[in-house]
Structure 1
Amino acid sequence: MQTVVITGGTDGLGKGLALHYLRRGVRVLAVGSTPAKGEALLAQAATISAAGRAVFLQADLTSVAATRDLVATVESACSSVDKLILCAQRYRLFGSRTVTREGFEHSFALAYLSRYVLGHGLRTALESAPQPVIMNVATPGVPLGRIHWDDPQLARRYSGFKATLQSFRANDLLGVAFAALHADTPIRYVGYNPGMVSTGMPDHLPQPLRTLTKASFTLLATSVPKAVTPMARLLDEPPGERFSAYRTTRRLPLKGPAFDQADALRLHHLTHDLINAV
């Protein structure tokens, strides 16, 4: 039986993917921060005769220590992991800068550091599977944002938009670095941009932006079940290259600063030093 680990697996796209694989007879470990959402997923799994294959793992992915504990929990529960799907994200576009208890800027910690720790931390478990895949659900193909090399925690000139866009670019480079560092790995790393999907993301926005965003979702966004279809196709039949990037069904050329290998390795070493100082 295959094992799929999904962060953000109790809401939005992550939940959609969890239910998709549960219906296909796969064991799913859904990671989330809210017990009520975890319980709701397990209840829904029971209605499709998948209760014995659905597992909810509560974790605070803004914490490097907690994410490392999650790696240990998954490794102790599973001899191998077939698919690691990284969906956890919460946009903090407005308001003042906040830091985690370990001192990291919130968006950097949740949207990037957790994915770094999980991808590298679960590599051995993934390499034990016959066709392992990591899918990093982010925004390749969106030419916005940059890494603030002199101030990655944005302590001096913070804005929520700047922090969010930096996390987007960091995830592009994360996939490039993973492939470069592990040249002999069987893992296929896919950076994936699902486009606009109708999820609960607008609920975290202030008014009137919340109402405007929900209205645009009604007109333009793809439903979760429809968005899951091309994602599952890539997960089940990944490209042969160690790293690839997609915007919905369109494969992206790995060109330009978003996929620069020197920058990717620079960010990897910076990140390694940051998290090992915790």
Structure 2
Amino acid sequence: MQTVVITGGTDGLGKGLALHYLRQGARVLAVGSTPAKGEALLARAAAVSAVDRAVFLQADLTSVAAARDLLATVESTCSSVDKLVLCAQRYRLFGSRTVTTEGFEHSFALAYLSRYVLSHGLRKALESAPQPVIMNVGTPGVPLGRIHWDDLQLARRYSGFKATLQSFRANDLLGVAFAALHADTRIRYVGYNPGVVSTGMPNHLPQPLRALTKASFTLFAASVAKAVAPMACLLDEPPGERFTAYRATRQLPLKGAAFDQADALRLHHLTHDLMNAV
């Protein structure tokens, strides 16, 4: 039986993937921060006779300590992990800068640091599986945002858009660095951009932008069910290269600053130092 770990696994694309793999007979560990959403996922699992293979793990992934606790829980309960899907994200495009209890900017902590901890931390469990794969869901191929090397926590020049885009660019580099650092690994790391998908993302936006975004989703966004299909194909038959990037079904060239290996290793070492300070 395959084991699938999904962060952000109780909502949107993460929930869609969780239900897909439960229907396929896998054991699914769905990570989320809201107990009510976890209970709802387990109820859906029961409806497809899969409740014995569904596990909800509550974790606040804005916390590095919580991400490490989650890592320890997964390692203690799973002899191997076949698929790790990193979806946890909460858009904070407006409002003032928020800092976690550990001193990290919110988007940097949730959307990047948690993925760093789990990607590297679950490597041994993944390498115990026959065809291991990590999928990091973000926006590879979108030429927006950059790494603010002199101000990673955006203490001086904060905006929600800037913070969100930096977290996406950091995740592109995370995949590049993972492949470079673990040249002998059997793990395939996929940076994945699903395009516009009809999820609960607009709920985090203020009005009237929330209503406008929901209306545009109705017209242009793919359903979760439609978006999950190509993701599952890549997860089930990962590419041969150690790191690849996709937008839906199209493989992207690993060119330009978004996938620069020197920058990727630079960010890795900076992040490693930040982790040691917590």
TM-score normalised by the shorter chain: which range applies?
over 0.9
**Aligned-partner Cα distance in 2 for 1:74–1:217:** 35
Once the two structures are superposed, the pairs formed by residues 9-20 of structure 1 within 5 Å of their partners are 9-20=9-20
SS of 1:246's equivalent? strand
**Aligned-partner Cα distance in 1 for 2:158–2:202:** 22
**Aligned-partner Cα distance in 2 for 1:204–1:180:** 36
After superposing on structure 2, the runs of 4+ consecutive aligned residues of structure 1 that deviate more than 3 Å are none
Aligned to 1:171: 171
Unaligned runs of 5+ residues in structure 2 are none
Query: CA RMSD, aligned part only?
Result: 0.3
Aligned to 1:256: 256
Q: Offset at 1:73?
A: 0.1
Q: Offset at 1:112?
A: 0.2
**Aligned-partner Cα distance in 1 for 2:166–2:44:** 35
**Aligned-partner Cα distance in 1 for 2:239–2:62:** 31
SS of 2:225's equivalent? helix
Aligned to 1:134: 134
Q: Does residue 145 of the first structure (1) align with residue 142 of the second (2)?
A: no
* Matched AA of 1:87: C
Q: Offset at 1:137?
A: 0.3
* TM-score normalised per structure 2: 1.00
* Matched AA of 2:187: I
Question: How many aligned residue pairs are there?
Answer: 278
Aligned to 1:88: 88
Q: Offset at 1:71?
A: 0.3
Q: Does residue 25 of the first structure (1) align with residue 5 of the second (2)?
A: no
Unaligned runs of 5+ residues in structure 1 are none
* Matched AA of 1:143: P
Once the two structures are superposed, the pairs formed by residues 1-278 of structure 1 within 5 Å of their partners are 1-278=1-278
Q: Offset at 1:62?
A: 0.4
**Aligned-partner Cα distance in 2 for 1:87–1:167:** 13
**Aligned-partner Cα distance in 1 for 2:110–2:200:** 17
**Aligned-partner Cα distance in 1 for 2:163–2:109:** 10
**Aligned-partner Cα distance in 2 for 1:199–1:219:** 13
**Aligned-partner Cα distance in 2 for 1:158–1:211:** 25
* Matched AA of 2:97: R
Q: Offset at 1:11?
A: 0.3
* Matched AA of 1:5: V
Q: Offset at 1:275?
A: 1.2
What is the percent sequence identity of the aligned residues? 89
**Aligned-partner Cα distance in 1 for 2:177–2:204:** 32
